[in-house]
Each structure stands twice: as structure tokens, then as C-alpha cells.
Amino acid sequence: MSGNTTYLITGAHRGNQPLRGLPRADSEQGIGRGLTAAYLSRPDDTVIAAIRDPSHATAKSLPEVSKGHGSALITVKLDSSVPADAATVIQSLQSEHNISALDVIIANAGINDDSNLGPVAQLSIDVLDQHVRINAYAHLLLFQAALPLLEKAKTPKFVAITSGIGSIGIMEHIPFPMGGYGASKAILNFVEEHRPMTAESGSN
């Protein structure tokens, strides 16, 4: 898909450094920036970079990313820990940026905090709740808010970045528990498996 395509990517400024170990919520590691740069390099596309902290150095450097002929970058603030942010962003895209349809949404923002790496017996409910809110609830809230704009696209795509760590089937082969992260991704996987692309649909 290329040419006159509108993309919305969350966590879009992450990925300024090579991946090493487990990405932290406040690190620059991840794939968001790479996806943003890849789509911006194509001609005649619009990339909406949704970022948690516009003041961060990697966010401020996004306008420096090379753009294909006729392509444009729009940056918006979206904090996945704030439930109302998704609806606010979608509203502002329509009223302030004249976005009438979204072709592709890549829900990439997430958290994997060191505090969830120990045994499940020691997992804090607060840590679990934080991971579920950001890694699962926020993706669903974004999809629900953006659905009217997705429905106006010819071939809409909503892509949620997940992880094998959230797979019940392979968890016995994972050598570390990561209870908060794994549980949040398991919820996300279930929601994505049963998510319809239209408001009227009862199944995929």
C-alpha cells in the first residue's frame, strides 16, 4: 500500500537506538521511528506520528526524517496511559488537520517495565494494571475512537503490535515470567482475534 495513504503510528518516535535487551517504557528503543521513517520515505503519503512526550529529543527530531515527494508528517500527542487521549487525537485530526479517513493504524506504543520481570508471586497489582491499561486497553480505545475514520478508507488496516510472550500456547518455553507484560499482551491478542473492522460486524 503506497501513494495517497494516511498512516497513524503510535509510539512513533521510539527506535533511535539499536535494540538491546528489553525495551523500557522511557527508552528510545523500539520500532516506531523505523516504521515512521519507512512510510514517510514513500511518495504522496501522510504519516501521523502519535507520541507520548512531544518535548523528548527523539520526538523533536522527527521533522528531520527524510520524506518522499509529496509526503507529509503530522505529529500529535497521545499518551496511552490517559484513556481520553485517543478520542481527543481523532477529533483533532479531523478538526485541525482535515483528516477524513485513516488507511492504516499501527498501534505500537507500549510498556515493558523492569518491575514486572520477577516471579508472579511478587507481581504488584499496580504494575499489572499499568501494563494492561497501556498495552491492551489503550489499543482498544484507539480502535474504537478511530473506527469511523477507518470505515471511510477503501482497505482499512488496524495493526496492533503484540508479542509471543502473550501467547498461552508457548508460555512454557519462555524462560522468564514477565507477568504484567505477558498478561497484557494475552488480553491484546484475544481482543485482536475477535475485533471486527466495522461497527456493524459481529466478527472478523
Catalytic residues: 181, 185
Count of positions (residues) in the chain: 204
Q: Residue 118: CB partners within 8 Å, gap ≥ 6? A: 177
Between strands 104-107 and 46-51, the pairing is unpaired
Alpha-carbon dihedral sign for residues 25, 29, 30, 32: positive
Q: Are 10 and 36 in contact (CB under 8 A)?
A: no
Q: Which residue, 6, 44, 11, is CA-closest to 25?
A: 11
Cβ(10)–Cβ(106) below 8 Å: yes
Helix (H) or strand (E) holding 125: helix 125-132
Q: How many CA atoms lie within 13 A of 56 on its CB side?
A: 19
